[in-house]
Structure formats: structure tokens, C-alpha cells
Amino acid sequence: MELSLQEKASNAKNIFKGQSLPMIPQEVLLLKEELTKKYPNTVTIANLISKNPENLSLFLKIANSNVVNQDTQIKDAKAAVNLIGLGDLFNLFLSSVLSRLLVTEPSDQEIMKEGVQTGIVAAELSYWVYDVSRSEAFMLGLLQNIGYLFMRRYDPNYDDWIAKLKTNPFTMAESESQYYQTDHAVLSSVLGRKWDMPDKIVKPVMFHHDKKFVAKLKNHDGYAQMVALIMVSSYIVYSSSDEQYLTQELKDYRDLGKEFLGLPDKALKAGRAALEKWGGSGNLISGSH
């Protein structure tokens, strides 16, 4: 029997038990407060972004991967404020902070790196998706599998599930839910809610392994297109990293998202090009403590 989202969310408490969810840092809260003012102070914004040098470095890498004009290079916080819309600026800053805070051990880095890569691809594909900004798409890609981190801390053998979820994103997600009575997607959504991410990001994450997402989100086309965006972006990242992941089920996963969005083949080519340019180990790796 398929568990409801309410049941999965309730059971997620068992996974989180004994684990501490990171609190939102003061600079994020202050940045959000500044951005809600009628006349935000750009100097204050730049100073808040620059407060942590390690986070600034990662933020600038993420920001450069999200700039529409790829001939423009953002070298400091002041340039970021001038070149990126303030709403997008906050989304990307929050993403960079979250990427760093969740890495508590070296093995976490690969998961976060993959999330950043998926975000890069999703941001590129957002050009073909109505009413989705590059920063929203990036945040979506980053958030989707953050639940992996908490599942791994709960079960040391969870890495086996991660590998299987990549090759069989539909069937193994069903097995995961039955085995744990919850799943990583729900955990990702819970964390996104705790960090006050918008519903447009948080809710679609719960459906990114659900073959029936179109029917279940029939009254929320905006959410459905975000789910489809994750599917296609994940396919590009997985199939680019290792040919062993390229199963028929992963192709079906891609096709379901691609057909719902009506993406042309050139969109997938652009996504791969963005991944190659910005997602390599030499270009963009999540920072650690």
C-alpha cells in the first residue's frame, strides 16, 4: 500500500531523531530583512554576502554559473548585487550557505556537489520553462536530494539505495518508501520548509520520483513543471557522470519530464554544456567546514 505524504512526513521524525538540523545563519536572516525593505541598501547587502570568506567563494562560483550573459564574470559581492536581481541574489546566497552547512564529513561533499550540478543544469533548462527563474531552478536542483545526507546518518548502508535510486528512480523510490516508511524526498522537503524556502521549491521536491506526478499535481501546473525540470536535470547529471546509470528506467524518467515540459533537444544539449562548463570538479565543489 502506498503511504500518503502525511504518513511519510510523520515517519520522517524517526530519521531526524538524534540529528540536528542546521539553523539559518544570522547573515541569511539579516539579508532577507534588508531585501524586504522599501529601499534595500546595496552596500549592506554586499557586506552581508562577504561576511564569511569561504561562503563568499562558493557563492561567487554559483552566481557565475547562473548569469545569463556568460561573458560577464562576477568577481565580488558588489558586482553580484549590481548584476543579479535581488530576489535571485537571495536564492543563490541561501543555496551557497546551505551547501556548506550541511557538509559535516568528506563523504557528504559528493552528494552536495551533485546537487549543485543538478542545480546548474536546471538553471540552464529554465530558459525553456515558463515562469521559473534561474535561481529558483538552481535551488530546486540543490534541494531535491539533500535528504540523502540525513538518511545516510540514520542508516550507514544507505549509499546502496542512492546508487539504485539513480538507475531506477521510480521502482527504487517505491521500495525506499516501503522499507523506511518515508523517503529522502520528504526529508529534503522538511529541511526546505525549515529554511523557509518557498512552496514553489519545497512541494515539488516531494514528487520528483513519482511517476504519477502529473495526475497528482493536476491542479498545480507550476509544481508539476518543477518536478519535470528536476527529472530532466537529474538525468543529464547522472548520465554524464557514469554510463552505468543509463538504464531504460532512467531514460523513461527523462522522457516523462521532457515531454511534459515540451523541451527541444537543444535544451538538453545546453544543459549538458552548462554542466561541462560549470559543474566539473575543478570549477564548482561545495565548500566544507
Predicted local distance difference test score (pLDDT) of residue 283: 44
Give me the tens of pLDDT residue by residue for the chain, a chain 289 residues long: 788 999 999 999 999 998 888 888 899 999 999 999 999 999 999 999 999 888 898 999 899 888 776 667 899 999 999 988 888 999 999 999 998 889 888 889 999 999 999 999 999 999 999 999 999 999 999 999 999 999 999 999 999 999 999 999 999 999 999 999 999 999 999 999 999 899 999 999 999 999 999 999 998 889 999 999 999 999 999 999 877 778 999 999 999 999 999 999 999 999 999 999 888 754 444 444 3
Predicted local distance difference test score (pLDDT) of residue 287: 42
pTM reported for the whole predicted model: 0.93
Give which of 175, 203, 167 is closest to 9, Cα–Cα: 203
Predicted local distance difference test score (pLDDT) of residue 106: 86
Predicted local distance difference test score (pLDDT) of residue 69: 66
Predicted local distance difference test score (pLDDT) of residue 288: 41
Predicted local distance difference test score (pLDDT) of residue 100: 87
Predicted local distance difference test score (pLDDT) of residue 70: 61
Predicted local distance difference test score (pLDDT) of residue 142: 95
Q: Using H for helix, E for strand and C for coil, what is the string for the chain?
A: CCCCHHHHHHHHHHHHCCCCCCCCCHHHHHHHHHHCCCCCCHHHHHHHHHCCHHHHHHHHHHHHHHCCCCCCCCCCHHHHHHHCCHHHHHHHHHHHHHHHHCCCCCCHHHHHHHHHHHHHHHHHHHHHCCCCCHHHHHHHHHHCCCHHHHHHHHCCCCHHHHHHHHHCCCHHHHHHHHHHCCCHHHHHHHHHHHCCCCHHHHHHHCCCCCCCHHHHCCCCHHHHHHHHHHHHHHHHHHHHHCHHHCCHHHHHHHHHHHHHHCCCHHHHHHHHHHHHHHCCCCCCCCCCC
Give which of 94, 81, 142 is closest to 115, Cα–Cα: 142
